Amino acid sequence: MKISVALAAYHGERYIEAQITSILAQLGETDELIVSDDDPGGATGELVRRMAAADPRIRCLEGPRQGVVKNFEHALRHCSGDVIFLSDQDDVWLPGKVAAVTAAIEGGADLVLHDAKVTDADLNEIAPSYFAQHGCTRSFLRTLLRNTYVGCCMAFTRQVLTESTPFPGDVPMHDWWIALCALRRGRKVALLHEPLLLWRRHDGNVTGGKTAFADKLRWRLVLLRALTRRQ
């Protein structure tokens, strides 16, 4: 079972080395880490290319410069593995993450969502469980109404990747879209209640900000329309 990790990078030089190091420690020799850098020529790309020169499992790509969703899609298009993990640039994978997730997939899961410890910028624990704060569900309707599928805690099979790509041009977030596609098709989702990630929250996070009610409503209508077309 080959593993691909799709990592979307953008001005991530402050934390990305620690994240890549934590990922590589759990990958096998034939696995791969695909980094799509949406600011080519910057410090992040320079750092990743330097790490790639020392480890052939890393591939650093020039991103499309069209925002986080397209950047993740670009990384995903270059993944060749049987199982695909999503990764942000600023978290830290805890030991045992890959083993726990791949065991769930070998047990029949098509998509895995695991818990995480929430930390500040310096990895000091803010909350011991993301699930306890935000919940988790296998319900399509509940996920449409309130997304709890964060990409940094997700992995899925190539079948799920095939069914959810290419992304519609107007979907609000890649992880939400992938989860809804899998749930809509009745794919088996495993919820792992063990925290397998340090989810770093800081002022420079690309996602996780406040959203106006009108945008929330519009996003759900966009998702429903896109799912109907994809079905």
- State yes or no: pLDDT of 215 exceeds 90: no
Place of tokens 């899998």: 182
> Cβ(127)–Cβ(118) under 8 Å?
yes
pLDDT at 169: 87
Is residue 159 very low, low, confident or very high in pLDDT (cuts 50, 70, 90)? very high
pLDDT digits 0-9 by tens, 109-152: 999 999 999 999 999 999 999 999 999 999 999 999 999 999 99
**CA 201, chain centre distance (Å):** 15
In whole angstroms, give the CA distance from residue 88 to residue 41: 19
CATH pick for 3-230 out of 3.40.50.11540, 3.30.465.10, 3.90.550.10, 3.40.50.720: 3.90.550.10
Distance separating alpha carbons of residues 48 and 34, to the nearest angstrom: 10
